[in-house]
Copies of this chain bind each other. A is one copy, B any other.
Amino acid sequence: MNIRPPTLSQVAARAGVSVKTASRALNGEPYVSRATGRRVREAADELGYRLNGLARELRTGGTSALVGLISGDLANPFYSAVASGVERELRRHGLLLVTVNNDEDAQLERSLAEALLERRVRALLIVPSGDGVIGGHDVPLVFLDRPPVDHAADSVLIDNAGGARSAAQHLLAGGHRRIALVADLLRTASQRARIDGFAAAMRAAGNPEWEPYLRTDVHDAATAERVVGELLAGPEPPTALFTTNNRLTTGALRALRGRARPPALVGFDDFELADVVGVTVVAHDMTELGRAAARLAYERIGGHTGPPRTVVIPTTLIARGSGERPARP
C-alpha cells in the first residue's frame, strides 16, 4: 500500500533499454523495433506499471485532463441532470469531470474555484450560487443557468423569462386572475428573470391581481409547502399557482395533497413522475444545458478565441392537467 508504484525508469531498466525508449514503446510512438517494444511491454506488465499522469501533465504543459463543475448539491435533480450532460460530453474528449458542491455559498464557491484552478483544470463550469465574481483567469470559464456578473464570458442559459411568460399566459387563458407566484432566492438572476417574465405577461394582460400573492426567497420544499398552505388559507385565496423551480413545485404538491378543490398549478422545471402526478410544467432539457456548456468549454480548450457566446435553451409548456384546472370565481 505504501510502497511507491513502479516508475518508467524501472521498466526501462528491466527491459534493458533507456527511459526514452520505454516511453516511446508504451506510448505507441513510431521508431521502436518490434522486439524492443515487446520487451518493454512485458517488463511493464511484470512490474504492474501504470503511467503517472501527474508527471506527464506537468511535463507537457502544466495542465491536467480535468474540467471542474461547481454547482449546487447533486441531490437536486436539476444539478445532477446538468452534471450528467457535462460528463457525457467531456468523456467523448477524454476529459474527466470534477464536481464540487458550492452549498449555495458564494465564498465557498470562490475558494473551491481556487482549489480547482490550483489543480490546473482545463476549464471551469459554474452554476453560480449568487453574484460571486469569479473572473480574471486564464482558464476558460462557462457559466450555466445564470449569467456571469461583471464580465462577459461564455454562458448557457434557460429561456427563463420566456418560460415564465408562457406559464403566465397559460393560466390567464384558463381564466385565472388571482395567481400566486412562489419563487426562490431573489439573488439568483434566473429567479429574477422568471419573476420578470411572469410579471410582464400579467402587465400585458392588464392583470394586477396577482401582486398580493407574490412570495419570494422561498428556498426549500418545506417552506414552499408552508407558504402555499398559508396562501390558500387566506380570505381570498389564489385560484392558481406558479412555482419557479422543481423544489418549490414539490412543496406545493405536498400542500395541495388531499385538497378537494386544489388551485391550478404550473411549475418551472420538469421532473420525474410529473406525468404520473399530472403536473403542468415549463420543461427544458437540463442535460442538454450541461452538454452545451461542455461543448463551449471544449472549444475554448481547443484554442477557440472570439467574443463570449451565449446559448439559450428553449422551454416548452407541457400541459398535464394541473395547469388546466379552471378558475373558480
Bound complex: CA A74 to CA B48 (Å):
32
| SS class, residues of chain A in contact with chain B | mixed
Chain B CB within 8 A of A272 CB:
yes
Q: Nearest Cβ in chain B — how far from A308, in angstroms?
A: 13
Q: Residue of B at shortest CB range from A278?
A: B257
A272 CB contacts on chain B under 8 angstroms: 77, 250, 271-273
Establish whether residues A100 and B87, one from each chain, have CB atoms under 8 Å apart when the complex forms.
yes
Bound complex: CA A255 to CA B276 (Å):
9
Chain B CB within 8 A of A253 CB:
yes
Contact of A100 among B54, B97, B300 (CB under 8 A): B97
Contact of A250 among B80, B136, B250, B273 (CB under 8 A): B273
Establish whether residues B120 and A54, one from each chain, have CB atoms under 8 Å apart when the complex forms.
yes
Which of A50, A74, A118 neighbours the largest number of chain B CB atoms within 10 Å of its CB? A74
Interface size class of A (residues with CB under 8 A): 35 or more
Q: Nearest Cβ in chain B — how far from A166, in angstroms?
A: 23
Bound complex: CA A9 to CA B198 (Å):
55
A57 CB contacts on chain B under 8 angstroms: 54
Chain B CB within 8 A of A329 CB:
no
A287 CB contacts on chain B under 8 angstroms: 75
Which of A73, A87, A119 neighbours the largest number of chain B CB atoms within 10 Å of its CB? A119
Chain B CB within 8 A of A208 CB:
no
Q: Nearest Cβ in chain B — how far from A100, in angstroms?
A: 7
Establish whether residues A138 and B1, one from each chain, have CB atoms under 8 Å apart when the complex forms.
yes
Chain B CB within 8 A of A91 CB:
yes
A97 CB contacts on chain B under 8 angstroms: 98-100
Q: Which of A62-70, A170-178, A237-245 contacts B (4 or more CB under 8 A)?
A: A62-70
Q: Residues 181-225 of chain A: 1 if any B CB is under 8 Å from the residue's CB, otherwise 0? A: 000000000000000000000000000000000000000000000
Chain B CB within 8 A of A277 CB:
yes
Q: Nearest Cβ in chain B — how far from A185, in angstroms?
A: 20
Q: Nearest Cβ in chain B — how far from A272, in angstroms?
A: 6
Contact of A52 among B5, B77, B120 (CB under 8 A): B120
Contact of A120 among B53, B114, B271 (CB under 8 A): B53
Establish whether residues B52 and A138, one from each chain, have CB atoms under 8 Å apart when the complex forms.
no
Chain B CB within 8 A of A144 CB:
no
Establish whether residues A54 and B91, one from each chain, have CB atoms under 8 Å apart when the complex forms.
no
Q: Residue of B at shortest CB range from A48?
A: B136
Establish whether residues A118 and B80, one from each chain, have CB atoms under 8 Å apart when the complex forms.
no
Interchain residue pairs A-B with the least CB separation, the first 4? A80-B80, A75-B84, A74-B84, A53-B118
Beyond the given pairs A52-B120, A87-B99, 11 more chain A to chain B contacts, judged by CB atoms under 8 angstroms and listed by A's residue number, are A51-B118, A53-B120, A54-B57, A54-B62, A54-B120, A65-B119, A75-B80, A80-B80, A84-B101, A96-B116, A253-B276
